[in-house]
Structure 1
Amino acid sequence: MRRHRPYRVGATMALFAGVAIASSPAMATPCSNLQSLQLQHTVINSATDNSTGTFVVPGNPPTTITGLPPFCRVTATLTPSSDSSIKIEVWLPEGTWNGRFLGTGGGGFQGDITYSELANGIKAGFAATNSDLGTGSSGCNPLFCGSNGNMGNPLAIQFGDPAAPSTGLFGHPERIKDFGFRAIHLMTVRGKEIANAFYGQRAKTAYFAGCSTGGQNALMEAQRFPDDYDGILAGAAAFNRTHLHMAGLAGWQNTHASPGRFIQPGQMTLINQAVLKQCVGHDGGAGTDQFLTDPRDCGFDPKSLLCTGGKQPPACLTADQVTTMQIYYAGTIDPVNGQLINPGSERGSETDDVLALGLAFQEQLPEPAFDGLFYWVFGPSFGYPSSKVNFANFDFHRAVDKVDDQLAEVLNATSTDLGEFREHGGKLIMYHGWADPLIPSQSSINYFNALVGNEGHGFQPAGFFPGGNPALRRTQSYARLFMVPGMYHCSGGPGPNTFDALTPLVNWVENGTAPETILATKFVADTPPAVQFTRPLCVFPKVAQYNGSGSSSIAANFTCVAHDHEFNQMPAPKYGP
């Protein structure tokens, strides 16, 4: 599990690289004095100086983060309820604080501290904080928080599934609240108090940055605690939590419906190449791209790869495999009334890389990776095929309401009323990879369109209209979305997947400069410093269109243009936005 950390759910790509800050020495009390700080429902476990330039991340094997400035590391446990045990860490730069506070998120079910986010934060001069979301007390990790055990499956073992069955947060409603919204809010409140005590002054501005579950945390903060942050960065947000996890169940059931439904090794690459051959260059990008710029323009039908004549898999698809891919694109559907519960994955997201946590990952596991959520509702019986409701027979018509009745209010960050956040001057930047094989990229578009609908007093797509779109303008005055061509879940993928989205957010909050584009880079082998190409990320609903001349590896040869009237796959209203 640990050696896969850079690719795990919610791992954030270089968000803090190049943050433009003005460092100034801070008046600080000694770090060790924080050990005796008295805060409500809080125990300060440790407060220690670190001037080594390195930090050893706990794990097996441990890893080392280098290049750190001297900082004060504070660890604390928060207990807002008798059943809560929320771990947080606050890292405080000593002498290089930029006067800003940064809350950070993690991925999946969390369960531990995301140290890379803390390190990135203090390297850029922020006082930074992170939390395990309170799920560590139940033995959870990012991928598993309730399961029937790894069942001896090598991939499940490699990714940290425990050997014995577990029920995660079943029977712990207060811990579910902590995971859903309370932990990240209290991390913020206590983190600010700790920073205030250390520096002897309040941060001038506060920011939050997270992807996946961190993106859910981000939107939950904007919705429920609009005064916590001045600027919020939400990547690939898992905001429609219950229905997203139902999509995970559906994806696993899809490939396990029969032995013939499995997509064989190498076939996802085969499908991806067929998608690119048909659609690349017709959606704004360059004809030489190895990714799609706007997959909604692609009408690829997996039937085109159906085996004919003497051809056999893996060089083509069987009828059963065609069905698997059709369902992959179609999304999670109520089999009785045909209502869409969660959007499908986009064309161009096909990958054989299990580290991308897509279909190739799910089909190799003995049960769905993220079905822990349903153990919280159904208990241990969810892991056994003989039970009425389990991971293999979950009924997407009858069982959905029970899950939503128990969890949706606490876990789903689906409110589109950001009025208080907007009124206090808050700014929101969202981003999502077009090739995300885990959280369908259409989800972020649907949420943004719903924000536009709020401004227009009814659903309106974020398109361009004669004379302009007033609702879109009002929404973009405080919230902007950037879609990332060819990026997987929060990082990786064949597209321009490394970019700094925090600096534009800071500039927007503090200087009033709203971002129109964000420069993104694809490094050779995804490893700096050798640059493969650059590309502008355009404010949605614009896309980067190749100008037709000059190198397609240079961002300057692309222009952001209006790209409206696209089909958006939307859930039924009861499951939306």
Structure 2
Amino acid sequence: MRCHRPFVGATVALFAGLAITSTQAMATPCTNLQSLQLQHTVINSATDNDSGTFVAPGNPPITGLPPFCRIVATLIPTSDSSIKIEVWLPKSGWNGRFLGTGGGGFQGVISYASLANGLKGGFAATNSDLGTGSSGCNPLFCGSNGNMGNPLAIQFGDPAAPSTGLFGHPERIKDFGYRAIHLMTERGKEIVNAFYGQRAQGAYFAGCSTGGQNALMEAQRFPNDYDGILAGAPAFNRTHLHMAGLFSWQNAHASPGRFIQAGQMTLVNQAVLKQCVGRDGGAPSDQFLNDPRDCRFDPKVLLCTGGKVPPACLTSDQVTTMQKYYGGTVDPVNGQLINPGSQRGNETDDLLALGLAFQERLPEPAFDGLFYWVFGPSFGYPSSPVNFSNFDFHHDIKKVDDVLADVLNATSTDLSEFRGHGGKLLMYHGWADPLIPSQSSINYFNALVGNEGRGVQQAGFFPGGGGNPALRQTQSYARLFMVPGMYHCSGGPGPNTFDALTPLMTWVETGTPPETILATKFVADTPPAVQMTRPLCVFPKVPKYNGSGNANNAASFTCVVHDDEFNQTPAPKYGP
């Protein structure tokens, strides 16, 4: 999340505004696009940028850009829609490919870093605010009771006054859920055709988090939009993922004693590593877990005894908080799992990782804006029948799902049409993701296998790794790579920098699927000094230390299959 990594993902907290550049007096192939007529589209500006630099208000300048044509447009598929898109077109050196890019959270802004990375790679690149900017949304907030004077909420952009996000705007919800990216893709391709006088030879999509949800939604709903799709840490099971955020906040705020103090997440993480590092296939010197499913750490071992007091240990109430943190979001009446819990090894006091340390310090749950879309402004007030502090995980789920699930949840496992035209899906997820449980991506991939092999074998158990015909069929068009020690889309103590787009393009264009992807950890997450390298293995394989050799060198690891790992899965009605 902190370092420059082309094509790996989009950070959730990417705040940017539109930069306005003056139109050149003399018409050019770029400025001529100002008059381009496209369905339900207004071209707001078409400008040449030959300066090598782009500046968005409130953000550092983006430098090292090739000359490009910048198109700013608004898409209006319904009377209540206002979808902002940008298309950046290299004026020379175009690689002949179209690249759709995603963003994070509720978006509401253009992800200029994604556009710049695509442009530097030679792509004609496009990005969208998902239509939520018209409701005043930003990546972290799209409905809230205001920042309530909380410094952290203010720092992360929560507006001062209450807001309802997309409440009362069902068409904008559809734009956010699936329509904005699809229309961005259609209009973007038409703009590419008009500028270059030819169609792109290949179309790719790359996104992480909400961008990962966009990616899976494209494969499911609009399978002909892209030839190759890169989906990182996808927020695909969105309604239940946001319920997990509510659950996490309520868990830590159940009583004053349940709150995890500053520094204690690091305390827990150190205890997890002490118990489990090197026993999960990784190297004994690792500062992260290689496969956290092997770790059975119980926070009870940190229970305060004798004269020890917090923050050097955990009270019994804090032990309960951490046990529920790992246990997942559960219906208190029937015990059904609604969303997987956090994996051991993702504990961090880094607020930018958007985990529990961030969540519990806000006046109301992060990302609870989704529920304002259903319940309206009353959701922000504890006196209301349904609000962020008393949301009932047995009775209130159905109302949310009835309104939002069909529009927001990219949970279909039938990708036959996408597969039929030769489409390839490459997924990745950090094992140490504190925001979206890493198990979720495994569950989706296993569900793809289950869909391919109904009646052949239960998804989730892969003897020998290659003996399952349903797995082989799935891996012919969809592959998952788990990333040891990576936080949400980037960052973390593990090897968190990698290029997943190039292997995807090779797969699409030559038919050669990726077996491994080389990941790098830079010193202080800043190139060029390399701290370590490690292979990312095609799931269900994971990297295993060979027992000798430099543990910081990828050559000291071999990809092996773990046959008997436990995969925490939601109840069928909440899955996959």
SS in 1 for 2:517: strand
2:374 is aligned with what amino acid?
V
Relative to the length of structure 2, the TM-score reads 0.95
Check if 1:519 corresponds to 2:518: yes
Offset at 1:564? 1.7
Q: d(CA) in 1 for partners of 2:563 and 2:348?
A: 28
Offset at 1:58? 2.3
Offset at 1:57? 1.6
Offset at 1:563? 1.2
Q: d(CA) in 2 for partners of 1:46 and 1:519?
A: 40
Offset at 1:12? 8.7
Aligned twin of 2:6: 14
Aligned twin of 1:547: 546
Task: Write out aligned runs for 1:148-163 (5 A).
Answer: 148-163=145-160
**Equivalent of 1:175, from 157, 163, 172?**
172
Provide Cα deviations, 1:412-450, integer angstroms capped at 9, x if missing partner. Answer: 000000000000000000000000000000000000000
Aligned twin of 2:463: 464
Aligned twin of 2:73: 76
1:69 is aligned with what amino acid?
P
Offset at 1:15? 2.3
Aligned twin of 2:19: none
Check if 1:45 corresponds to 2:44: yes
2:377 is aligned with what amino acid?
P
Q: How many matched pairs? A: 557
Q: d(CA) in 2 for partners of 1:260 and 1:374?
A: 27
1:15 is aligned with what amino acid?
F
Aligned twin of 2:32: 33
Runs of 5+ consecutive residues of structure 2 not aligned to the other structure: 10-26
Q: d(CA) in 2 for partners of 1:16 and 1:450?
A: 24
Decide whether the 8 Å contact of 1:16 with 1:124 is kept in 2: no
SS in 2 for 1:499: coil
Decide whether the 8 Å contact of 1:12 with 1:491 is kept in 2: no
Decide whether the 8 Å contact of 1:13 with 1:490 is kept in 2: no
Change over 3 Å in CA distance of 1:70–1:204 after alignment to 2: same
Change over 3 Å in CA distance of 1:528–1:462 after alignment to 2: farther
Decide whether the 8 Å contact of 1:354 with 1:361 is kept in 2: yes
Q: d(CA) in 1 for partners of 2:176 and 2:487?
A: 25
Check if 1:100 corresponds to 2:92: no
Aligned twin of 1:251: 248
Decide whether the 8 Å contact of 2:106 with 2:140 is kept in 1: yes
SS in 2 for 1:207: strand
Aligned twin of 2:23: none
SS in 2 for 1:63: coil
Aligned twin of 1:362: 359
Check if 1:202 corresponds to 2:199: yes
Q: d(CA) in 1 for partners of 2:466 and 2:138?
A: 50
**Equivalent of 2:296, from 296, 299, 316?**
299
Check if 1:390 corresponds to 2:382: no
SS in 2 for 1:474: helix
Change over 3 Å in CA distance of 1:388–1:13 after alignment to 2: farther
Q: d(CA) in 2 for partners of 1:466 and 1:213?
A: 30
Change over 3 Å in CA distance of 1:385–1:464 after alignment to 2: same
Aligned twin of 2:323: 326
**CA root-mean-square deviation:** 1.3
Offset at 1:14? 3.0
SS in 1 for 2:405: helix
Aligned twin of 2:13: none
SS in 2 for 1:498: coil
Percentage of identical aligned residues: 83
Offset at 1:466? 8.6
Which 4+ stretches in 1 moved above 6 angstroms?
A: none
Aligned twin of 2:452: 455
Check if 1:211 corresponds to 2:203: no
**Equivalent of 1:132, from 129, 133, 136?**
129
Decide whether the 8 Å contact of 1:433 with 1:490 is kept in 2: yes
SS in 2 for 1:198: helix
Decide whether the 8 Å contact of 1:255 with 1:262 is kept in 2: yes
Offset at 1:497? 0.3
Aligned twin of 2:17: none
Change over 3 Å in CA distance of 1:223–1:115 after alignment to 2: same
Q: d(CA) in 1 for partners of 2:228 and 2:237?
A: 21
Task: Write out aligned runs for 1:341-360 (5 A).
Answer: 341-360=338-357
1:139 is aligned with what amino acid?
G
2:512 is aligned with what amino acid?
T
Decide whether the 8 Å contact of 2:166 with 2:373 is kept in 1: yes
Aligned twin of 2:482: 483
Decide whether the 8 Å contact of 2:465 with 2:540 is kept in 1: no
Q: d(CA) in 2 for partners of 1:540 and 1:51?
A: 43
Offset at 1:46? 0.3
**Equivalent of 2:429, from 426, 432, 436?**
432
Runs of 5+ consecutive residues of structure 1 not aligned to the other structure: 1-5, 18-27
Decide whether the 8 Å contact of 1:271 with 1:350 is kept in 2: yes
Decide whether the 8 Å contact of 1:29 with 1:198 is kept in 2: no
Check if 1:64 corresponds to 2:47: no
